[in-house]
Each structure stands twice: as structure tokens, then as C-alpha cells.
Structure 1
């Protein structure tokens, strides 16, 4: 590399090669400005898409509520025999046996294999240690998912998308073990890219006592339906983030 630089500089006087270097630096700066502008445009478009999705979900919920009211009103105007026909037509299949031996249909808003949207909770952790020396704002993907009520968390990208608006509690932990050059890391929780809290941990050199360390943080925040919540590195790490049976790097959350 040094020989290449010498060969490049050898053919030019001081002013010429300085001008060449300044020109290349200018091109790099222009490229960086353009990339920053494109990133801002993408964030703006993402915000608009989330708003459109929120409006669409509210419209769907409103349609479902109106339909349920129509069914209840229609049932109140018919006999027991008519009610059975109406329930069958609206695909409500849940029944309970009455003392008289008749089968009385019972409205079931939620499918037996699902949970209400108010029951939102998830917990996941790293199944193995991360790659060493992660860059700043690197998303942490918790691939081992223990529970995911409401299906808000995606183990493919590590992002929790709130299914409903409300006050949420989030907890995340960080583990570091011993290693050369004193490994360390800092993680932060962000909602739509805005950091809410962070935690820091560092390890010791090999052979020093107490080489496995874990820290954690708990955050309570108002979150809107469709908001993105995730964990990322606060800055570049030194060494790998650890997760093992004696200390898990994890991410969890639940709706109050």
C-alpha cells in the first residue's frame, strides 16, 4: 500500500498531488451528503406508510365493530330458531349444550386458537454470541423466541411492531465476557429510530476474576399502533456480545 502511494506521489509536485487528494475528498463528501439525503427521504416515506397502515387498521376495526352490532340487533328481532340460522350464516360455530337438550349458538368474537389484542407480550434472546466488533446502530436480532402473544415481534429482523396503541413496558439485557483488550458494548432501545434508554457492560482480561458481566434496563413508554421498537448498538462494540445459559442477552415487552 505504501509503495502504491509513493508511486502515485512521485510523478507529481506538491501542489498537484494535494489538489488530487482534495478533489477525491470532495467527491467522497458529495457522495456522503447524497446518501444522507436519500436516508432522510426513506424515513419520511416510512413514516407516511405507517400512518396509512394505522388508518387502514382503524377502518378495518370500525367495520368489524359495525358488523357485530348489526348481528346483535338482527338476533334481538328473531326467535330462537331464527337465531340458529343467523349464527350459521355468519359462520359462528361455537355451541353449548342447554339443559333442554337444544343446541344454543353462542357468539364467539375470538377464534379459540388466538388471543385478544390486549394480550400483547413477547420475550426473545440470542441463541449464541454475536459477531465481534459490531458497528454503531447495528440491530440486534433475538432469534430464540419463547413467547409472542399478538405476533408483534419478528425474529427475522428483530423488530417489534406494536399491534395496538397503549403504554408498554420493555426490558433488555446485555452480557459480556472476558477477552483481550477489555471487551465492552452498549445497547439502546429505540422507537421509530429515536433512542429511549440504554445499558452498558464491559468484560475483563482473560484470567481476571469475575469475567462474565450482564446489565439491563427497563423502559416504559406510550407506543402507537404500527410503531417500530428495536434494540441496536449505541456505538461500535469491542469484542462479541455473549448469550449463554448462565446469562442471556434478551429483549422482552408487554402491554400494560
Structure 2
């Protein structure tokens, strides 16, 4: 600070050389007054900046607190979703047995009178006269279940859809067929946006699909295959050398695991359109036979 004042005095002296002592003194006082005013201004700016920093830090703390609350809510929602999924899978399986003393044994109606091993606790799902009311019997005491049941069991899996109109002509091999009109879709396994059925449960399924063609400028040809997670399960084809339209279909029965993708695609290049109208539908359907 002393060095700065010396430099300022040196500059002032160099500028006022030739002035008398009184003028020199006034010039020095004027410069010092300006410096003091500037120093006061800097102090005010510094105080304002400190206040802004303090407010920002306080807001950051509040935001962190709110963020932690949001994270806690998300964690609770995820736990609730996992719990709901576990209950749905438990209801679909019917029986679940765990080995530890603190574990739970759930009996289906067919296994209701089974005797649990020593150290096991049992919980029984019991229906009531009201089909929308399900109780959990814990040590003989009925307690209302938090999650209500579906309107139909998970084992009721079935879907049926068809093309609302004929396809584009001359499709390439392995082109997926999207059946956009859905008549039934129990368990919501089929997606009419991409044409894929995702199995909600493991079991033995039956699938049926058809293909129709109609005469045009050239002899039509279409061959479709059913794919299980990329592997072909079967196929059917149709062509038409006579006038009018012609259809063929096939039925497939296969083991399907939970989460497997089943869809219909072209087996090879098609010739002409794949035909679909109220007179004859190109369709795809499937249903669970047993688990």
C-alpha cells in the first residue's frame, strides 16, 4: 500500500512540477479524496458480492436438501414397484417356499391344507364373496391385501391381431409384419406398434398365423415365418396362379420362457402385396396352453 502511495505521489509531483506549494497541496488532497471515494465504492461492491455468495450458498443447501428428498421418493417408488412385481409373480406362481426361519410360505388354493415344516411361517391367499377383495391370512387372521388383484389371472394369456390393410409390395427377407388391429390382448403381451409378443410367463404356447395374396400384374408370392427370439419355429407360404385371392396358415406349439420375443417376419423376398381385407385377413394369434 505504501509503495502504491509513493508511486501516486511520484506521478502527482511529476504533473504538478512548476506549481506553487498551495496548488500542489490542493492537487494532492483532490487525488487522495478520489482514491478514498473509489475505495469506499470497492468496499460496497465487495460487501454486495459477499452477500450474493452467501445467498447462493444458502440456495445450494436448500437445493441439495430438496434433491435428497426427491432421491428418497424415487427410491421408495422403486421399492414399491419391485414389491408390486414380486406380488404379481407370486400370485402367478401360486406357491413360493423359502428355507430360513424368517421366510414366508405362500400356499395356493390347491395346496391350502399342506403342513409347513417346523420353523416356517405360512401365509394363505383367500378369496371372498366379493371378487375384488382378497385377504392374506396370517396365522389364521385375515388382513386386507394392499395391492388389488388383476381382473384376470396372469395365466390367462391370449392375443389376436390382423393387418388392417394390405402391405407394401415386394418386401425384403426378414421384414417384420406388424399386425396393427388388435381384437384381444390378455396380459398385454402383444404390441401393435412393433408386432412383437413378449411372453409374460413361462409355459407352452400355441401360435397361429396366416398369409393371403391376390392376383396382380405378376404372380404373387409370400412366405412368412414365426421367430422366437431370432430363431425360426415354422413357416407358411402362398402364391396365386389363378384369379382371386388365396390364403394359407399354420399352427405352432412351443415352449416359451418369460421375456421371450415372438413375432412374424418374411422368410424371403415377397412378390406383390401381402393381402388383407374383410374378405380375407392376414393375421397372428397366440395363447398360453399351460404353465
Give, in whole Å, the separation in 2 of the partners of 1:124 and 1:197: 19
Deviation at 1:70, TM superposition (A): 4.2
Give, in whole Å, the separation in 1 of the partners of 2:137 and 2:153: 24
Out of 156, 170, 187, the residue aligned to residue 133 of structure 1 is: 170
Deviation at 1:180, TM superposition (A): 1.5
2:160 aligns to what?
123
Give, in whole Å, the separation in 1 of the partners of 2:105 and 2:280: 49
Distance 1:67 1:155, change over 3 A: farther
Give, in whole Å, the separation in 2 of the partners of 1:116 and 1:62: 11
2:138 aligns to what?
74
Give the secondary-structure state (helix, strand or coil) at the position aligned to 2:138: helix
Give, in whole Å, the separation in 2 of the partners of 1:158 and 1:63: 28
1:98 aligns to what?
none
Deviation at 1:203, TM superposition (A): 2.2
8 Å CA contact 1:169, 1:218 repeated in 2: yes
Under a length normalisation based on structure 1, what TM-score does the superposition of the two structures give?
0.60
Question: CA-atom RMSD, angstroms?
Answer: 2.6
Give, in whole Å, the separation in 1 of the partners of 2:91 and 2:184: 30
Give, in whole Å, the separation in 1 of the partners of 2:105 and 2:187: 23
Distance 1:135 1:164, change over 3 A: same
2:258 aligns to what?
225
Please, which runs of 5 or more residues in structure 2 have no aligned partner? 1-84, 97-103, 107-121, 125-135
2:281 aligns to what?
248
Deviation at 1:117, TM superposition (A): 1.1
1:43 aligns to what?
none
Question: Do residues 110 (structure 1) and 149 (structure 2) align?
Answer: yes
Deviation readout 1:91-113 (Å, 9 max, x if unpaired)? 47xxxxxxxxxxxxxxxx623xx
Out of 204, 209, 217, the residue aligned to residue 172 of structure 1 is: 209
Please list, as runs of the form range in 1=range in 2, the aligned pairs for 1:34-45 lying within 5 A after superposition: none
Distance 1:179 1:149, change over 3 A: same
Deviation readout 1:18-44 (Å, 9 max, x if unpaired)? xxxxxxxxxxxxxxxxxxxxxxxxxxx
Give the secondary-structure state (helix, strand or coil) at the position aligned to 1:61: helix
1:185 aligns to what?
222
8 Å CA contact 1:179, 1:203 repeated in 2: no
1:40 aligns to what?
none
2:63 aligns to what?
none
Distance 1:192 1:70, change over 3 A: same
Give the number of the structure with larger relative contact order, counting CA–CA contacts within 8 Å between residues 6 or more apart. Answer: 1
Q: How many residues align?
A: 170
Distance 1:237 1:245, change over 3 A: same
Give, in whole Å, the separation in 2 of the partners of 1:63 and 1:160: 22
Question: Do residues 152 (structure 1) and 189 (structure 2) align?
Answer: yes
Give, in whole Å, the separation in 2 of the partners of 1:201 and 1:122: 24
Give, in whole Å, the separation in 1 of the partners of 2:87 and 2:183: 32
Distance 1:74 1:159, change over 3 A: same
Under a length normalisation based on structure 2, what TM-score does the superposition of the two structures give?
0.53
Deviation at 1:246, TM superposition (A): 1.2
Structure 1 segments of 4 or more deviating over 2 A?
Answer: 57-75
Give, in whole Å, the separation in 2 of the partners of 1:67 and 1:242: 53
